[in-house]
Amino acid sequence: MHLRKPSITEWLITLPSLIWLFILFLIPTLIVFAIAFKPPDPWGGIGSGWTLDTLRSLANPNYPPIVYRTIGLSIGTTVICLSLALPTGYAIARAPAKWRRILLLLIVIPFWTSFLIRIFAWKVLLHPDGHLKQFLVFLRLADEQSMLLYRPEAVLLVMVYTLLPFAVLPLYAASEKFDFRLLEAARDLGATPWRAFREVFIPGVRRGLLTAVLMVFIPALGSYIIPDLVGGPRSEMVGNKIAQRTFVDRNLPHASALSAGLTLAVMAPMLVVLMLQGRRRDALET
Amino acid sequence: MFRYVAALFMVAGLLTGCGERKPVLHVYNWADYMKPSLVRQFEEEFNCRVVIDTFDSNEAMYARLRAGASGYDVIFPSTYMVQIMQEQGMLQPLNPDLIPNTAHLDPAYQEMAADADCTHAVPYMISNAGLAYRADSVEDVKPSWAMLDRTDLRGRMTMLDDMRETIGAALKYLGYSLNTRNVEELEEARDVVIRWKRNLAKFENEQYKNGIASGEFLLVHGYNGDIMQVMEENEHVVYIVPEEGVSIALDEMVIPVDARQVELAHAFINFLHRPEVAAENTEYVFFLCPNAAAYELIDDELLNDPSINLEPEILARSEVIEDLGEDNRLYTAVWDEIKAAR
């Protein structure tokens, strides 16, 4: 397979989106990276000259717990979302066509309500005097004093809730294209249903899985509003620290350095995925 | 962009002014911080139009001005932000002859202002940050910051997500100045906040109002006017001023260097300090306008409310948060440790 040289028309069609990305994504990102090397002034502005002090101050011993928590919560969210979305995508793809549409609609319906309102709904659900709490107390799973909100577990729960559709949709799309006769073939050759699912279905929807990982992990890393609203004093994530540096500490270079770090952290999984997909393409070509 | 908007307003003014062009005063203020009918009264009396734009934090307002927003005639920053803006040469000197009503200012509060002689800023309203609790669920209440040590309220209390307010509360609890630059005092305060943090549901700046109203939180650290607005609707909520002293915030009125309606801006500041106007405004927003002549006109119950008008001995132990310039870093470092602590 040889790549054709793109024609002028193709260039012209791509140009608007390239310009869009260049002006609204690439340039601002580079500015953020540049500000990270500028000194702050005590009035919230950006000083003149260049410095590496801000980068050095990232060695602050208070950061590692926040970074670990951010990565841990993001990985946790991704793993839970994928393990819920994989059977869901499979089930929707195998459902009769009439049902399939309704199920997909049910996945999308929550988006009709504002994201913020849905988070506030969780605050009502998990209210310390709410029905859920009383039910848990009744089941002796919680006592009167225990808190459902304002802890890292609450952040994890709401992140999974928020990001789950972003895992279900690509997995459904991949499952829909999957040839389910392969599963039957595997069964005919003696595989147990679980083994067929694991060794035939999962590799078959690999691309969907990779997309789902990116769609969940990246927004999870940059979470700010969820830990802010349902998190407690021990649920701070990198996003919250960036907000604090910007608004409270009036230290834009420090906020920029943290943002730049987050951008790099987000790019790493994307590069891995690109490499994995590239290797697969090479393998197909040879 | 803002010039553009201002130009649009001018065109709109031309179109609706029936041939007569009324001057437009552009005001940049906190939300819900002025009785609307008073603005109408000013417009009629001075034959002008007032356009009010709002901000939700000093930092947001400052960032917007630094980014080039212009065309405001009167701005309402807090004391520490007045200091920063003054140092940055963003304010113009006030003409005392145009604001004779500053004579009514309450000297007790005037000392706390960024500029005691009103050369570039005039105080507008006073607030303080104390504690509020649910009278239906909390017993044995003492007016003290020590309430935050109550383990029976664990997980149902909040403190402000604001390093100066929250570290300041601990400094007051320990009997130190909340503007201290002494590292040892700050470390002591840090340990107190970390101890309190174990009892907190979260650090919270906005949702504490809903939280205390719904009973989600039983004790919150917040601003008196905000809590009093909740108290209007919920009889179970009570505000207390900790006896160790509190932080007092003073919002002031300033005229930026690039103001267009300088005379009208002076007239507006002077208008808001007319005793009858100041009294009416205070009764509407539940914050105190430090205008001694207005006190006689304010409803006694409101004026003597110790959460609005602090008792003299508590007032003596209270302070206004000052900008510490370079030394803000000391607070940032302590705040980072507090946030990271387990």
For B55-72, what is the mean pLDDT?
Answer: 82
- CATH number for the domain spanning A160: value is 1.10.3720.10
B320 and B299 in one domain? no
B88 contacts chain A (CB < 8 A): yes
- CATH number for the domain spanning B148: value is 3.40.190.10
Q: Of chain B residues 99-138, which have a CB less than 8 A from chain A?
A: none
B96 and B16 in one domain? yes
In a domain, A262, yes or no: no
B35 and B172 in one domain? no
B186 and B114 in one domain? no
Q: Cβ of A247 and B202 within 8 Å? A: no
Looking at chain A, which residue has its C-alpha nearest residue B86?
A: A43
In a domain, A195, yes or no: yes
B195 and B143 in one domain? yes
B274 and B186 in one domain? no
Q: What was the pLDDT predicted at A53?
A: 86
Residue numbers of the domain that contains B133: 127-248+310-340
B283 and B316 in one domain? no
In a domain, A241, yes or no: no
In a domain, A155, yes or no: yes
Q: What ipTM was reported for this prediction?
A: 0.72
Q: Quick one: DSSP state of residue B254? A: B
Question: Which of B201, B336, B340 lies nearest to residue A232, judging by beta carbons?
Answer: B201
Q: Cβ of A42 and B88 within 8 Å? A: no
In a domain, A57, yes or no: no
Residue numbers of the domain that contains A133: 64-233
In a domain, A161, yes or no: yes
**Cβ contacts of B151 within 8 Å, gap of 6 or more:** B199
In a domain, A28, yes or no: no
d(CA B253, CA A80): 53
Looking at chain A, which residue has its C-alpha nearest residue B87?
A: A43
Per-residue tokens: B78 = 């807090």
Domains in chain A: how many in total?
1
B324 and B219 in one domain? yes
Q: Cβ of B201 and A249 within 8 Å? A: no
- What is the sign, positive or negative, of the torsion defined by CA atoms of B305, B306, B308, B309? positive
Q: pLDDT digit string (tens) for B10-51?
A: 555 444 544 457 899 999 998 888 999 999 999 999 999 999
d(CA A214, CA A221): 11
Task: Per residue of chain A (286 residues), give pLDDT as tens.
Answer: 455 676 788 888 889 999 999 999 899 999 999 999 999 876 677 888 898 988 888 888 889 989 999 999 999 999 999 999 999 999 999 999 899 999 999 999 988 999 999 999 999 999 888 889 889 988 888 887 788 888 899 999 999 999 999 999 999 999 999 999 999 999 999 889 899 988 999 999 998 999 999 999 999 999 999 999 998 888 889 999 998 888 777 788 999 999 999 999 888 888 888 888 777 666 665 5
Domains in chain B: how many in total?
2
d(CA B160, CA B143): 18
d(CA B25, CA B52): 8
Beta-carbon pairs below 8 A across chains A and B: 68
Question: Which of A44, A232, A251 lies nearest to residue B63, judging by beta carbons?
Answer: A44
B112 and B150 in one domain? no
B195 and B331 in one domain? yes
In a domain, A109, yes or no: yes
Which spans in chain B are helix H?
Answer: 2-16, 36-45, 58-66, 79-87, 107-110, 163-173, 183-197, 208-214, 224-233, 262-272, 275-285, 292-295, 300-303, 312-317, 328-340
B146 and B17 in one domain? no
Q: Give chain A's contact residues with B (Cβ, < 8 Å).
A: 42-45, 60-63, 65-66, 123, 127-129, 145-147, 149-150, 229, 231-234, 236, 244, 247-251
Q: pLDDT digit string (tens) for B123-177?
A: 999 989 999 999 999 999 999 999 999 999 998 999 998 888 999 999 999 999 9
B189 and B326 in one domain? yes
Q: Cβ of B155 and A236 within 8 Å? A: no
